[in-house]
Amino acid sequence: TEFLIEVEGLKKHFPIRDGLFGQETGLLRAVDGVSFKIRQGSIFGLVGESGSGKTTVGRSLLGLYEQTAGRVKFRGVDLQSLTSKQLTALRPKMQLVFQDPYSSLNPRMRIGDAIGEAMLAHKLCSAAELRGKVDEVMKICGLSPQHYNRFPHEFSGGQRQRIGIARALILKPDFIIADEPISALDVSIQAQIINLFSDLRDDHGVTFLFISHDLGVVEHLCDDIAVMYLGQIVETAERDTLFRQPLHPYTRALLAAVPTLDPDSKPLAMAQGEIPDPSKPPAGCRYHTRCPQATERCRREIPQLRDVGEAGHRVACHLV
Ligand code: SF4
Compute the distance from residue 266 Cα to the ligand 1 centre, in Å: 21
151 class by beta-carbon count within 10 Å (0-12 exposed, 13-18 middle, 19+ buried): middle
**Distance separating alpha carbons of residues 63 and 224, to the nearest angstrom:** 23
ipTM for the whole complex = 0.99
User: What one-character-per-residue DSSP string does 85-127 give?
Assistant: HHHHHHGGGEEEE-S-GGGGS-TTS-HHHHHHHHHHHTT-S-H
Residue of 190, 250, 253 lying closest to 218 (CA atoms): 190
The model's confidence at residue 272, banded by pLDDT at 50, 70 and 90, is low
Compute the distance from residue 76 Cα to the ligand 1 centre, in Å: 34
Name residues whose C-beta falls within 8 Å of residue 214's C-beta, 6 or more positions apart in sequence.
47, 183, 258
pLDDT of 267 higher than 50: no
Compute the distance from residue 229 Cα to the ligand 1 centre, in Å: 12
- DSSP letter, residue 270: P
Compute the distance from residue 285 Cα to the ligand 1 centre, in Å: 6
H helix count then E strand count, the chain: 10, 12
Compute the distance from residue 143 Cα to the ligand 1 centre, in Å: 47
129-141 in b/e form (b: 16+ CB < 10 A) is ebeebbbebbebb
Q: pTM for the full model? A: 0.91
| 77-135 confidence digits (pLDDT tens) | 999 899 989 988 898 999 999 887 777 789 999 999 999 998 998 888 998 999 999 99
| 51-68 confidence digits (pLDDT tens) | 899 999 999 998 777 889
Counting ligand 1 atoms within 8 A of each CB, the residue from 235, 295, 296, 298 with the most, and so the one to mutate, is 298
The model's confidence at residue 22, banded by pLDDT at 50, 70 and 90, is confident
| 169-213 confidence digits (pLDDT tens) | 999 999 999 998 888 888 888 888 899 999 999 999 999 999 999
Counting ligand 1 atoms within 8 A of each CB, the residue from 251, 272, 306, 319 with the most, and so the one to mutate, is 319
Sign, CA dihedral 30-33-39-45, equals negative
The model's confidence at residue 265, banded by pLDDT at 50, 70 and 90, is low
**Residue 161 is which amino acid?**
Q
* Ligand 1 cavity residues, CB under 6 Å: 248-249, 285, 287-288, 291, 293-294, 298, 303, 317-319
Compute the distance from residue 304 Cα to the ligand 1 centre, in Å: 11
Higher pLDDT, 130 or 21: 130
| Count of alpha carbons within 13 angstroms of residue 40, beta-carbon side | 7
pLDDT of residue 288: 95
| 224-264 confidence digits (pLDDT tens) | 999 999 999 999 999 999 999 999 999 999 988 776 655 55
Neighbours of 253 (CB within 10 A): 20
Counting ligand 1 atoms within 8 A of each CB, the residue from 234, 295, 300, 320 with the most, and so the one to mutate, is 295
Atom of ligand 1 nearest to the CA of 234: 6
